[in-house]
A and B are shown apart, each in its own frame.
Chain A
Amino acid sequence: MEAVDFKYCLRGKADMSRKFNMLLLGFALMMLGIYFFIGGVVVVNDGFEGKALWSTYHDPAVHYDNHSNISSAEDESNNKSTTGPLLVPAFGKLVIVLVDALRADYVLGSQSHMMYTHAAVQNGRSVAFTSVARPPTVTMPRIKALTTGSIPGFMDIVFNMNSAALVEDNIVAQLRASGRGVVFHGDDTWLKLFPGEFVRSDGTTSFFVTDYTVVDTNVTRHLSEELAADDWDVLILHYLGLDHIGHLQGPASELVGPKLREMDAVVAMIDEGLTKRDETCELPSLLVLCGDHGMSDAGSHGGASSSEVETPLVFFSSVFQLAFKSARRVEQVDFVPTLAALLGFPIPQNSLGVAIHEMLESSMSEKAMLKALQVNAFQLTRLLRRRSDDIDGEVGFWEYKHAVDLHNKYLTALRQGDKLTVHHETVDRVTKMYQQAMTSIAARLTAKLSRYDEYSMTVGIVLLWLGVIVLVLPTDQNTASSYFLWMCLCISIIAAHLWACTGVARTSAVCESSPEILVMVGLAVAGSATAVACAIASCATSVLCDKSSNSVQNQQTCDNHKQTAVRGFLRLGIVLHILSFASSSFVEEEHQTWYFFFTSLNVLILASHIVSLAQSLFNGKELRNAAMKPATGTPHKKFHETCPANKTQRSKEGATANDHESAGSANLCFTGGDTPSRDQMKNLLRCLLVLVLARLLRDWNHTGSKWAHLPDVGDWLNDRRHLHYLTAACFAAMLLLVTLLLRRERKLTALRSILVPIGFLSIYCFRARREELWSPWQLASSDGVTEARAAYACAVIVVAEAVIRRKDQLFTDALVAGWTLLSALLLRPSNIPVLAMISYVEELFKHSTRSQWNNDGSVIAYLWLSQASFFWLGNSNSLATVDVAAGYVGLSGHQGALFILLSCAATYCGPVLCLLCLLRTLLQLSGIRGQHLLCTCQMLLCSRCFVLAFYSVVVYVEKYHLFIWSVFLPKLLYEVCHTVVTLVFVAGIQLILVCMTCLDKDKSL
């Protein structure tokens, strides 16, 4: 992508429009490619529709009744008709206490705050398991898993925010169908998922993260009357407070202990209430305490670390007398068939769970238990039959058949009254066989579950690569137009075909077997082949040109090789970064890649600075001595001619005709005397400072997975005991930001120089009001909505003013100022210093690298900086690090679209800031807005498209990798999000450009 050099951006108007067209084409290709690829990754859900009935699970192979001549009186009544219930309930009432983000060690760990639960587990009053959730460990997919027993698709996380009613077969619907009244209190996600299913309900909004007391008291206040009431059979409580504490202050917060004790008290209260009730009821009651997902060591969730996926699953009942000391690991979905067996309702159709046999053993007779296991196993084989092409070849099915045989033998023996001791052993054997069959079927089904629309994925990849080609291709070719037509034709055909075939109303008969597809594929191949040929030809010519021009330059410049070393390193870095995607741990630890590259880049620059400084110190003396001897006037004149890149002059001159050459010759400047050498000294120090700051930032927020748990500066600042230090750091950071934004060299307006400090002041007040920062005066604690809105208003006015005034320089400065204000508002207080340091690093980096390379190089270097800044702010490639709290800043409630927008802005504020700074720098250097901006946009799109295209190939190849759900797909989501942000950025810039040109024309007319 570096082949696109600025010199290919011809100055002609026709060329510009062609370039613009290409940009547009690339833009469209990227959008389409992303659309199709993501569409292909979404798991195709081909489970059963509708509710399961008892008749669904009747396996004629099992002879419960007098199927053959053997008959038994007691079984006949129960199982003669296939519609009668297969299982008899073992429990009457059920209470489910779901505590959001309840980690396994909070309950089962040795230092548990939940004394009652812990004691109950220890003395055998309750049975505890460690249930393992599947990533994404986010609330809504987990609720779906807990109720349907299926593993929801990864893209469910996208819809986590706007949950629609659950149509799949689930526990709640089954409970209702079996005539039980269900009452729900807690997270209102349930109400959206199961509208109209509850007898009574009180929902609390889960998205208001900063509140962690009211959400829980809202649930608990109903408890005493519910325990007294008799109209319900199932009570579900979903507590949110713990999750909110985790999001706010992490798992080690001092708020966690009291919260857990509160939950423990709730459990104790319900347990005692139920025990009292058991004395009068014929069937005992069951209490289940579980978590939907855990909590990472940073307090968030979404990823696949053990603390995020492990949750407790504790069953309480007065009938349990067993002591299970070790909490066995079970799958989260195992809860569903277990509950179905215990309460006697049909298992939801798409459940992948395996009933927990310890639970069945402890609460029902052997015969009933075997029957429950058989029903569960049959339900799984039914799913397997649907998903597998060759059911008889499946190991699990074979095992199931054998288990059924043995089961039948057992039943026959039972009917014949053969009460030998063999029975117990037989029961054990049958149990084990069913268990084994179910485990292997479940494993097989889980593997089969990750289905992809490979066709759509392939099309997406092809489109993305076409996009790369379009964006890389130099446009000053005669072939461009014909090639353009070709591309348009191919794309329109592909698009038409795709619209017909990959949509919702897809008809596989037409799309997969018709000759049309062959034609289409042929066209696509032909098109891409032409494109590739074109690209290779033009690249070859451009490389040749590049080489020849470089060789000319080599003679002109004295130390060109350092520059080429740095540029070569940039190329190497791009390649290495892309190759690193093939390894899952490099994806997890991508921040290390960027930190390493950024430091290496700066070390190289530092080395070149040192060398050139030393050169100017040594040679400068000699040269000056030599220059003094002949005519004194000439060297100075020469210096001015050869060095248009002289720092102070260049920024004033603005437009420099040929940056490439001038940047190359900038190193000649040291012959000019003392001032350049002082400049070089400054640059050297700047570079050193960049390195030191980068090192500090590296330790500010540890991300990734391998070293994320190590203590870092951010953790230290977030400790409540260090509130004063945090306040001081934020104050210093805001001062630095204000000075950076209001420097003299910026084009300032009076309005902005007033609004920026006011904005920061209101940000400070906002945080102080929420008690996240210390304040000298007493503030009534509140949500700080007013202050936050004041800050928003400042940012908006700053940008709006520049738009109205219509001046490039002014505009970019204002954009940077506005964006900085917005980011400072959205970021957590401990990250405000990071923001300040990123701004400062950018400022230093700009100066220290100004003479290093051409504009292409600086675009790439800025992209690296932007990537590093993304990770410096504590983000990672795991979904756990998305800061949801940012989505509520300045809002009084949950507002879907704004929430997503704000969270996205908070996540990508570093990269966008860097891109805006890049724009500002380029405008400062070149002053020409049209062509350079166009080329920069092209570079940005190209780099994104290249990475995404390569990564989509990686995902396609690794689609059955073990870590696909936990590592590769979250990364894909991040890549896509980053690309969309870049696309929006580029579109915004181009739109503004077009508007400005139009307005200028109007004015001139």
Chain B
Amino acid sequence: MSAATENTATVFFAGISTSATVLLLYNGFIESLCTRTLWLLKVLVLFISTWQLLSTLVSIHFWQFFGRANDISNTRPKVDKDNKREFQVSSLYKLLMVYAVGTVLIYTVTVLFGAPLLNKQEETILFSLLLASCAILPGCCIFTTNWNRWLSVLTKSSLDQSVLEKSSGRVSVCTLIGAWLGAFPIPLDWDRPWQVWPISCVIGALVGYAMGNGVTTIQLCWQMLRARRKNSRMKLP
């Protein structure tokens, strides 16, 4: 049951992401973000990108890493015909390329939204790296350069998305909306240190990330519980 293993992996990682982010946001993180912005952002970007990369790759290739070899032929979903799921090192390069392009795109949009162009460049770059890690890195891992799939996800026209695709799509939308909403307190005259660009947006993005993952976790857990109940009911007679 590789679909089930993928579900399990997704739930597992999403749960960990949620709880880790929530814990992070609770433990005086915001204060230290205000004082040591650049350093913490660097750590955060490094950590989140690695985590996202690993978790997505592991979820995709779970069956390959941990499953039995004879599962491969008959249990893979048919929709993934054009989407080779064996892990290849060459696809790593590809996904990193897409990731880089995505970061540049996000940087451009951030500047267009009003991020300072001449100062605070490092902050802006780190912020776009963070957004890219949260929002598009899973997509990069799943689709790499398969533009048709990217498109179908963007237009939501394909109905045959796997659980992982759905969840990472939700996480990316939530992250982007969170970052967008995070810009709202900046003009307020509260004079708090976290109102400075890009801290509020970073926090917004992290909250969005946590919420997206949280929704995924809850939904999948609920589904799995129901499936188990159904199974047990079917087994009873």
List residues of chain A with CB under 8 Å of any chain B CB.
558-559, 561-562, 583-586, 588-589, 592-593, 595-596, 599-600, 603, 611, 614-615, 618, 691-692, 694-695, 698, 704-706
B189, A588: Cβ atoms closer than 8 Å: yes
Q: List 27 A-B contacts (CB under 8 A).
A: A558-B157, A559-B155, A559-B157, A561-B156, A562-B155, A583-B188, A584-B189, A585-B187, A586-B188, A592-B114, A592-B187, A596-B113, A596-B183, A599-B112, A599-B113, A600-B113, A600-B180, A603-B112, A603-B113, A611-B151, A611-B154, A611-B155, A614-B154, A615-B151, A618-B147, A695-B111, A704-B187
Known contacts A585-B189, A595-B114, A706-B189, A614 near B109 by CB under 8 Å: no
Task: Out of B114, B151, B189, name the residue touching A618 (CB < 8 Å).
Answer: B151
Residue-wise, chain B 163-196 has the 8 Å CB interface mask toward A (1 for contact) of 0000000000000000010010011111000000
Contact check, A694 vs B151: say whether CB atoms are below 8 A apart. Answer: no
Distance between Cα atoms of A648 and B175 in the complex (Å): 40
Chain B residues whose C-beta falls within 8 Å of the C-beta of A593 in the assembled complex: 187
B90 in contact (CB, < 8 A)? no
Taking chain A's interface residues, is the majority helix, strand, or loop, or is none over half, making it mixed?
A: helix
The answer to whether A692 touches B112, judged by C-beta atoms less than 8 angstroms apart, is yes
Chain A nearest CB, measured from B213 CB (Å): 23
Question: Contacts of B148 on A, CB cut-off 8 Å?
Answer: 618
Alpha-carbon separation in the docked complex, A614 to B146 (Å): 13
Q: How far is the CB of B184 from chain A (nearest CB, A)?
A: 8
Among residues of B, the one whose C-beta sits closest to the C-beta of A562 is B155
Chain A residues with Cβ under 8 A from B114's Cβ?
592, 595-596, 599, 695, 698
Residues of B within 8 A of A586 (CB): 187-188
In the complex, besides A559-B155, A561-B155, A695-B112, 8 extra interface pairs with C-beta distance below 8 angstroms are: A584-B189, A585-B187, A595-B114, A600-B113, A614-B147, A615-B155, A691-B112, A706-B189
Which B-chain residue is minimally distant from A612 (CB atoms)? B155
Specify which of A595, A600, A706 lies most central, judged by the most chain B CB atoms within 10 Å of its CB: A706
Q: How many A-B residue pairs have CB under 8 A?
A: 55
Taking the nearest CB of chain A, how far is it from the CB of B108, in angstroms?
Answer: 9
> Complex Cα distance A595/B111, Å?
13
Question: Hey, which chain B residues are within 8 Å of A596, CB to CB?
Answer: 113-114, 183
Are A603 and B183 in contact, with the CB atoms below 8 A? no
Chain A residues whose CB sits within 8 angstroms of the CB of B180 once the complex forms: 600
Chain B 187-229 interface 0/1 with A at a Cβ cutoff of 8 Å (1 = within): 1111000000000000000000000000000000000000000
A592–B183 Cα distance when bound, in Å, is 10
Shortest beta-carbon distance from A518 to chain B in Å: 43
C-alpha spacing A603/B157, complex, angstroms: 21
Q: Which residues of B contact A692 (CB under 8 A)?
A: 112
- The residues of A that contact B147 with a CB separation of less than 8 Å are 614, 618
Residues of B within 8 Å of A584, CB to CB, are 189
By a CB distance below 8 angstroms, the chain A residues around B189 are 584-585, 588, 705-706
Taking the nearest CB of chain A, how far is it from the CB of B111, in angstroms? 7
Interface code B144-162, partner A: CB below 8 Å = 1, 0 otherwise? 0001100100111100000
Nearest CB in chain A: distance from B68 CB, A = 37
By beta carbon, the residue of chain B nearest A580 is B184
Question: Which of chain A's residues have a CB closer than 8 A to the CB of B154?
Answer: 611, 614
A983 to B177 alpha-carbon distance, docked (Å) = 37
B187 touching A706 by the CB < 8 A rule?
yes
CA gap between A95 and B147 in the complex, in Å: 81
**Whole-angstrom distance between the alpha carbons of A585 and B184 in the complex?**
11
**Chain B proximity of A306: nearest CB distance (Å):** 14
Residues of the A chain whose Cβ atoms lie less than 8 Å from the Cβ of B109? 603
Chain B residues with CB under 8 Å of A595's CB are: 114
Q: How far is the CB of A320 from chain B (nearest CB, A)?
A: 40
CB distance from A619 to the nearest CB of B (A): 9
Assuming A600-B180, A611-B151, A618-B147, is B113 touching A585 (CB within 8 A)?
A: no
| Assembly CA distance A678 to B113 (angstroms) | 27
A715 and B157 alpha carbons, distance in the complex (Å): 50
* Bound-state Cα–Cα, A695 to B109, Å: 10
Chain A nearest CB, measured from B44 CB (Å): 25
Which residues on B sit within 8 Å (CB–CB) of A585?
Answer: 187-190
How distant is A1003 from chain B, measured CB to nearest CB, in Å?
A: 51
Return chain A residues, CB-CB under 8 Å to B112: 599, 603, 691-692, 694-695
Give Cα A595 to B187, complex, Å: 12
Contacts of B113 in A (CB 8 A): 596, 599-600, 603
- Can you name the residue of chain A whose Cβ is closest to the Cβ of B189? A585
Contacts of A559 in B (CB 8 A): 155, 157
Q: Which residues of B contact A592 (CB under 8 A)?
A: 114, 186-187
Note all chain B residues with C-beta closer than 8 A to A706. Answer: 187, 189
Identify B151's interface contact among A558, A603, A614, CB under 8 A. Answer: A614
Q: How far is the CB of B172 from chain A (nearest CB, A)?
A: 13
